[in-house]
């Protein structure tokens, strides 16, 4: 195994890991069970300065 083969394998492995992590984060962000948590976090930013809607 020469350096070019090792370079190609490591580049491909890095790309596959990156794609797998991206898909995992996408599923986490779009999973219906997490919607309340993200909505609450989005509202909390506005509520802390006292200028946003309070529900």
Residue 15 in any domain: the answer is no
Quote the pLDDT of residue 33.
92
Any domain includes 39? yes
- Enter the tokens of residue 53: 């809607």
pLDDT band per the 50, 70, 90 thresholds, residue 49: low
How many distinct structural domains can be found in the chain? 1
CB contact at 8 A, 34 and 28: yes
Whether residue 45 is contained in a domain is answered as: yes
14 neighbors 6 (Cβ within 8 angstroms)? no
Whether 10 maps to a domain, the answer reads no
Kindly report, residue by residue over 14-41, the tens digit of the pLDDT. Answer: 999 999 999 999 999 999 999 999 898 8
Q: Does residue 12 fall inside a structural domain?
A: no
Identify the pLDDT of residue 55: 57
How confident is the model at residue 50, as a pLDDT?
A: 59
- Its pTM stands at 0.65
Cβ-contact 54, 47 below 8 angstroms: yes
Domain enclosing residue 39, as ranges: 21-55
């Amino acid at each position: 195994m020469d350096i070019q083969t090792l370079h190609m394998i490591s580049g491909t492995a890095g790309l596959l890991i990156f794609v797998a992590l991206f898909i995992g984060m996408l599923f986490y962000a779009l999973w219906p069970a997490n919607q309340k948590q993200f909505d609450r976090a989005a509202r909390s930013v506005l509520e802390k300065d006292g200028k946003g809607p309070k529900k």
